[in-house]
Amino acid sequence: MKNNNNSQNGKQKELTPDKENGAGEFLTTNQGLKINDNQNSLKAGERGPTLLEDFILREKITHFDHERIPERIVHARGSGAHGVFELYESQEKYTKANFLNDTSAKTPVFVRFSTVAGSRGSTDLARDVRGFSVKFYTQEGNYDFVGNNMPVFFIQDAIKFPDLIHAVKPEPHNEIPQAASAHDTFWDFISLMPESTHMIMWLMSDRAIPRSYRMMEGFGVHTFRLINAEGKGSFVKFHWKPLLGVHSVAWDEAKKISGNDPDFHRRDLWDAIESGAFPEWELGLQIIPEEDEHKFDFDILDPTKLIPEEIVPVQLVGKMTLNRNPDNFFAETEQIAFHPGHLVPGLDFSNDPLLQGRLFSYTDTQLSRLGSPNFHEIPINRPVNGVHNNQRDGHMRQTISTSRTSYEPNSIGGNFPVQAKEAEGGFTSYQERIDAKKIRDRSDSFFDHFSQAKLFYNSQSEVEKNHLVDALKFELGKVEIVDIRKRMVGILTQVDMELAKKVATGLGLDVPAAPEKPINHGVPADADPAKYESKTGSSSLKVSAALSMSNTPKNSIKSRVIAVLATDGVNGAQLNATKKALLAGGAQAKIVATHGGFIKDDTGAEIKVDFTFLTTASVLFDAVYIPGGAPSITAIKAEADAVHFVTEAFKHCKAIAAEAEGAELLKAALIPMDKSKTPLGVLADQQPADFVNAIANHRFWEREKKPDVPA
């Protein structure tokens, strides 16, 4: 049977009913309605809230939410832990939320970290955004912080979210590549959407390959509201600052970790908690008085923008500590259900159009993934203060309701459960005046797509800039369609001409002579293209120190994992002295030897072996220590894998310490040991305290790409 469809040129086109090809056709809804604007959700005014009546948005996101079962469509690969949140100082000036007022409370939390694009079986070390979500089990109900490790996002309106994720997922014809953005469809979409430029700077930076979940920041992304007991509102941006600092791995290292231990981040979090090295973050608030909403040179409702900390300082108000691993991964980490709409009194939304769409999407996707409207009854999702309402039955119902009444008002049950007044803790939405036309449009204040991308790039250290350039060359080098590469280089000229030239040269493309104005292809059919043209605003702030990881704290070796290369005949006194210093600093020292079981030091004492050179790799450690002992070094030098272990650690800019004969292994690894030119971070015969200080520095990126790097 054939089916006749009308194409846009009026000609009849024959298609079988089970096949579809959009070539030459108009964009339509699932009911065949031609879509005029696929770029903006329906709002009450340009900067107003998204309207529930937007059937196009709801149809598109509903279909997207139900495309995959049973794992999450995004953030499928994750890991989590239990902990507590403790407040430093009451925030009652800004909010009536009890958990932000009561300094004596220890609010239970569950945190889930994740990658965005990959499946549940993908690697932890993919170049990707990381999810950072916190469920607070407060006495007023559950509050969910649903954020990322980057403060901005790719798109400005939720109606584009399915398009973004469809583009970044493996290509549909061959399901390749997994958990990677280095392919044509992603960069095709990005190169046509200039609003993504700022986020691309973050994604191509070292923030996308963190050393650990414990060493990355968390951001709420959107602007939210705080409301105090008097009903006064303030805008707020949420931050999580890790006490261990913000650290990354090298890209070459990330690729090798993926092969050696794809569970690297998951294992790291688990092991740290099991060993008592509890991860800690401080909660920070950027608070903006309502009267200051329009005083910035960007729109605070635009999710592709951040508020620089130099303009609005981050106030650190409390600390979160993760202190208990899950008892069952599936029951807790996999079944936990987050939703940005899970609020408590004193918190509310802004009209950010991406946030407004998320408020619909999350419930819908939980219904699909967990299969029931009763997903809140799964133990990990239950609020600690109890649930009392007239909702009954449904698939997988757990609660046994004994009351005759399942409606309100009622007299049979004494009209219970009863509504709560605001003074009794009842939630009331913030009263915001809205008087606007229904419209599919975007505020003019959303069209500066490059100023903050410039700010981010200019704020990076030289090493970070080099890494960002290499990431762009790698990603775009995987793109097969040359026109996509050219479009992206054109967009990069709007960020920084030198950046664009370096990327273009690496891709073998002509270097643009001047910045190229990109064309925004995300324009509604009947809109004036000039309105959607990308604008580059001016900012008095040229550099923000908070945006560079080089400024992160580097004063602790707590939970760092140090490889100790040793075998029979090792100098026991040297090994024990350095190991003692490492353990005192909170680090872990792991013996890597030529064989398993036990080795004997030069006094005959037995030492347990943790790994052999066959069962581990340098990329799984933060630093390397080589104690002396001639028999030990002679045996290790004969192991090609051992020599490579040291060479690779040097290449990845890690701290390396050697004592006495241990220096011979450094020479075998082709590390220059001329005392007048000893590379940064390489120590020979220094005190254990010097090695501890070197590890705390995290990496010695300055020695990257130097002539003396042996690999």
H/E stretch holding 650 reads: helix 640-651
How high is the pLDDT of residue 21? 64
How high is the pLDDT of residue 5? 44
User: Which one, of 146, 168, 172, lies nearest residue 78 by Cα?
Assistant: 146
How high is the pLDDT of residue 348? 95
Q: Which two tokens stand for residue 347?
A: 């918190």
Question: Is residue 17 over pLDDT 70?
Answer: no
pLDDT grade, residue 608 (50/70/90)? very high
Q: In angstroms, rounded to a whole number, what is the distance separating the alpha carbons of residues 442 and 159?
A: 12
DSSP class of residue 332 equals I
Report, as an integer, the average pLDDT of 12-18.
47
Report, as an integer, the average pLDDT of 94-106.
97
Report, as an integer, the average pLDDT of 415-420.
85
Among the ranges given (23-27, 248-252, 540-544, 587-591), the one the predictor scored with the smallest mean pLDDT? 23-27
How high is the pLDDT of residue 709? 62
How high is the pLDDT of residue 531? 86
Q: How big is the chain, counted in residues?
A: 711
Report, as an integer, the average pLDDT of 20-33.
73
In this structure, the strands spanning 42-44 and 588-593 are: unpaired
Question: Is residue 234 over pLDDT 70?
Answer: yes
Among the ranges given (256-270, 460-474, 506-520), the one the predictor scored with the smallest mean pLDDT? 506-520
Q: How far is CA 465 from CA 134, 190, 406, 458, in A?
A: 31, 20, 61, 8
Among the ranges given (137-146, 424-433, 503-512, 699-708), the one the predictor scored with the smallest mean pLDDT? 699-708
Question: Is residue 398 over pLDDT 90?
Answer: no
H/E stretch holding 319 reads: strand 315-324
The angle at the Cα of 301, spanning 162 to 245, to the nearest 5 degrees, equals 85
pLDDT grade, residue 683 (50/70/90)? very high
How high is the pLDDT of residue 56? 82
Question: Is residue 482 over pLDDT 60?
Answer: yes
- Residue 647 near residue 671, CB atoms below 8 Å: yes
Helices (H), 478-557: 482-495, 497-507
Which residues have a catalytic role annotated?
75, 148
DSSP class of residue 36 equals S
pLDDT grade, residue 641 (50/70/90)? very high
Report, as an integer, the average pLDDT of 637-652.
96
Question: Is residue 524 over pLDDT 50?
Answer: yes
pLDDT grade, residue 15 (50/70/90)? very low
| Domain 43-152+210-381 coded CATH 3.30.70.580 | no
For 81-144, give the DSSP string.
EEEEEEESS--TTT---GGGT-TT-EEEEEEEEEESSS-TTS-TTSSS-EEEEEEEEEBTEEEE
How high is the pLDDT of residue 7? 44
Domain 557-703 top-level CATH class = alpha beta
How high is the pLDDT of residue 34? 78
Please tell me which residue, 170 or 395, carries the higher pLDDT value.
170
Among the ranges given (75-79, 415-419, 606-610, 614-618), the one the predictor scored with the smallest mean pLDDT? 415-419
- Give Cβ neighbours of residue 460 (< 8 Å, ≥ 6 apart): 205, 468, 547, 548, 550
Percent of the chain with pLDDT over 70: 95
Among the ranges given (159-173, 321-335, 385-399, 477-491), the one the predictor scored with the smallest mean pLDDT? 385-399
* Average pLDDT score, the chain: 91
What ranges make up the beta strands (E) of 21-66? Answer: 42-44
Report, as an integer, the average pLDDT of 139-165.
96
User: Which one, of 500, 619, 640, lies nearest residue 254 by Cα?
Assistant: 619
b/e map 302-337, b = 16+ CB within 10 Å: bbbbbbbbebbebbebbbbbbeebbeeeeebbbbbb
CB half-sphere exposure, 482, CA atoms < 13 A: 5
Report, as an integer, the average pLDDT of 493-508.
97
User: Which one, of 98, 133, 129, lies nearest residue 115 by Cα?
Assistant: 129
User: Which one, of 68, 262, 78, lies nearest residue 165 by Cα?
Assistant: 68
pLDDT grade, residue 13 (50/70/90)? very low
Q: How far is CA 64 from CA 31, 72, 143, 446, 512, in A?
A: 16, 11, 25, 25, 38
- Could you tell me the residue ranges of all domains in the chain? 43-152+210-381, 557-703
Domains 43-152+210-381 and 557-703 alike in fold: no
Question: Is residue 495 over pLDDT 70?
Answer: yes
Question: Is residue 355 over pLDDT 70?
Answer: yes
Convert the pLDDT of each residue in 157-182 to its tens digit. 999 999 999 999 999 999 999 999 99
Q: In angstroms, rounded to a whole number, what is the distance separating the alpha carbons of residues 171 and 184?
A: 8
Q: Would you call 621 helix, strand, or coil by DSSP?
A: coil
Convert the pLDDT of each residue in 554-599 to its tens digit. 999 999 999 999 999 999 999 999 999 999 999 999 999 999 999 9
